[in-house]
Amino acid sequence: MREDLRGPTQGHAVAVDTACSPHGHLRPLPLDAVNLADDFWEPRRRINREVALPSQYRHLEDTGRLDNFRRASGKIGGEYQGIYFNDSDVYKWLEAAAWTLAEGPDPDLERMVDAAITEVADAQRPDGYLNTYFTFEKATQRWTNFDLHEMYYAGHLFQAAVAHFRATGSKRLLDVATRFADHICDTFGPEEGKRQAVDGHEEVEMALVELFRVTGERRHLEGARYFVDARGHGMLGRLTGNTNRPTARTTSPSETRARSSGTPSAPSICTLARLTYTPKRESPPSYRPWNACGRT
């Protein structure tokens, strides 16, 4: 069921849209309503646009992260490159780049974003599933180990798609995200015939809420509610951080989530951290220098 969520922020780029959320106490301010002309943030934003984002895109290429998508779509051969969560770095970069484009046009950055979206879209499976680690020889292992965080990566894709749509009006990435969200909602849930599971890393819940705020598809909100309510009931095989703890004690998990105004995802904060982060010791190659915030 699709709902009409058009409100006062329709047509404006906002990070988290609570304009039609009855329990949200905070209302979003469009990004184009703010001008930073100070001596602290604005120079860093300029560095982010002119230096950090292009450098990170080159890193996505140099480390094989984008090639993993090309491999999944059949454009190139070879082995999967890097650690299993590498897809999420592409999605985090896309979200950060999209919010930067919301500030104003940048032909070079737009070209990089469009190129990355093409590789992501071409790698999507016919049933909507999208994860380059679980393709070809690992395709039969989909949704078998929830500590490998397939839903977490999906959540970052959804956040990137929402950001790109709000910043540019394009549905290229949003259509990819919607198909994957539909696949997840068809696979997991409380209904008979669906699988009962939660991911080892929270993320898909808030991403499905924000996707619902764009698409109006009620099933995305209901999917978020299911994952929030299911967490804390021992569905994971082993304890991973806080994943087996109940989400809330004094109110139901879904009520707690519904009343939250939400927070934007982390790429902009991570970008600043990467500009100032100096590791005290040499990090493994898979984490250097991209993943200072890659697992949060």
3-state helix/strand/coil string of 150-167: HHHHHHHHHHHHHHHHHH
> What pLDDT, on a 0 to 100 scale, did the predictor assign at position 263?
37
How far does CA 211 lie from the centroid of its chain? 10
Domain coordinates in residue numbering, the chain: 38-292
Average of pLDDT values for 139-157? 95
Cis peptide before 289 (omega within 30 of 0): yes
Average of pLDDT values for 68-80? 98
Minimum mean pLDDT range among 208-212, 217-221, 284-288: 284-288
Strand partners, 2: 217
Average of pLDDT values for 85-114? 96
Phi and psi angles of residue 2, each rounded to the nearest 5 degrees, phi first: -100, 135
Alpha helices in the chain (DSSP H): 41-47, 53-62, 65-72, 86-101, 107-122, 150-168, 172-187, 204-215, 218-230, 253-259, 267-276
Q: How far is Cα 212 from Cα 266, in angstroms, rounded to an integer?
A: 20
Closest to 266 in 3D by CA, of 296, 244, 291, 240: 296
Strand partners, 217: 2
Which token pair is 55?
Answer: 């450098």
pLDDT-derived band at 86 (thresholds 50, 70, 90) equals: very high
Q: How far is Cα 92 from Cα 191, in angstroms, rounded to an integer?
A: 32
197 exposure class (CB count in 10 Å sphere: 0-12, 13-18, 19+): middle
> What pLDDT, on a 0 to 100 scale, did the predictor assign at position 10?
52
Tokens 């984008």 correspond to 66
Which token pair is 58?
Answer: 């080159």
pLDDT above 70 (res 25): yes
Express as a percent the part of the chain with pLDDT over 70.
76
Residues near 182 by Cβ (< 8 Å), separated by ≥ 6? 128, 217, 219
Average of pLDDT values for 173-186? 98
Cβ pair 56, 85 in contact under 8 A: no
**Which tens digits make up the pLDDT trace of 235-282?**
875 444 444 444 444 344 443 343 333 334 334 333 333 333 333 333
CA angle 29–31–37, rounded 5-degree value: 110
Average pLDDT of the chain to the nearest whole number: 82
Average of pLDDT values for 137-166? 96
pLDDT higher at 87 or 246: 87
> What pLDDT, on a 0 to 100 scale, did the predictor assign at position 11?
54
> What pLDDT, on a 0 to 100 scale, did the predictor assign at position 73?
98
Average of pLDDT values for 163-188? 97
Helices vs strands, H then E, count in the chain: 11, 0
Single pTM value for the model = 0.78
